[in-house]
A = this chain, B = another copy of it.
Amino acid sequence: MLPAGQPKFRRRKADRPEEIVRAALTVFASKGFAAARLEEIAAEAGVSKGALYLYFATKEDMFRAVVAQGLAPNLAFIQAAAASAPAFADLARTLAALLPQVAERAPIAAIAKMVIGEARNFPELARVWHDQLVGPVIATFAHAIAAAQARGEVRPGDPRAYAVSLASGLLLGLVFNETFAPVGAAPFDIPALARQHVETVLAGMLTNPGARP
């Protein structure tokens, strides 16, 4: 019996890798690395399992590609913002407004969850994420904070710890929603949480908090 109409597949060598990575992200993010089935990734990508192996050598390679994809854009984004910020408080407020938007589009939280969860099984991924994203971001912030301390804008204290304090509210909110909203928890309004958190921490960090919005 010939369906005659549509061909049963198309040859689309150029588009497949991206589609497969996107599908792999979806499945890895919801199941974790080990529990993810290649059949499911293939189905999600609209392709057979064998076809995956035309573009990736192993399941681990797919995982690496997914994690790598979540890396480059974010760091560039943050460092650009840091470079162009006049005062420290402005940088913090700008990021607090922008990051929730980024998090809505790109599944940072899902990827971060995976990196955290699989760090012991894929130490080289944890290393790449630390060396290329988390470390530089903390360092960038700490540097900006230390400079602000030198100018007398920010109170004394460990700049790295201040960086963690600033970022932690948003991150914890994202992880909370990702983890507990599916089981019925009232989710946080992330942009609102980010705004209040950053204003609160800034008010605690700055020597002269000035006008609170």
Contact = CB atoms under 8 A, between A and B. Distances in A.
A123 B161 CA distance: 33
Interface string A154-195: 000110111011011101110110111011110010001100
Interface stretch (A7-15, A45-53, A72-80, A109-117): A109-117
A133 B138 CA distance: 30
Contacts of A121: 31-32, 35
The copy count of this chain in the complex is 2
B180 A126 contact: yes
A92 interface: no
Contact of A116 (B123, B175, B183): B175
Main secondary structure of the interface of A (DSSP, over half): helix
A152 interface: no
Interface stretch (A17-25, A54-62, A197-205): A197-205
A127 interface: yes
Contacts of A114: 117
Interface residues of A, number: 57
Nearest to A115: B179
Interface of A: 30-35, 113-121, 123, 126-127, 129-130, 134-135, 157-158, 160-162, 164-165, 167-169, 171-173, 175-176, 178-180, 182-185, 188, 192-193, 196-197, 199-205, 209
Given A30-B120, A32-B33, 14 more contacts: A31-B120, A33-B34, A34-B35, A115-B179, A116-B116, A116-B175, A123-B182, A123-B183, A161-B188, A161-B192, A161-B193, A167-B172, A200-B205, A204-B204
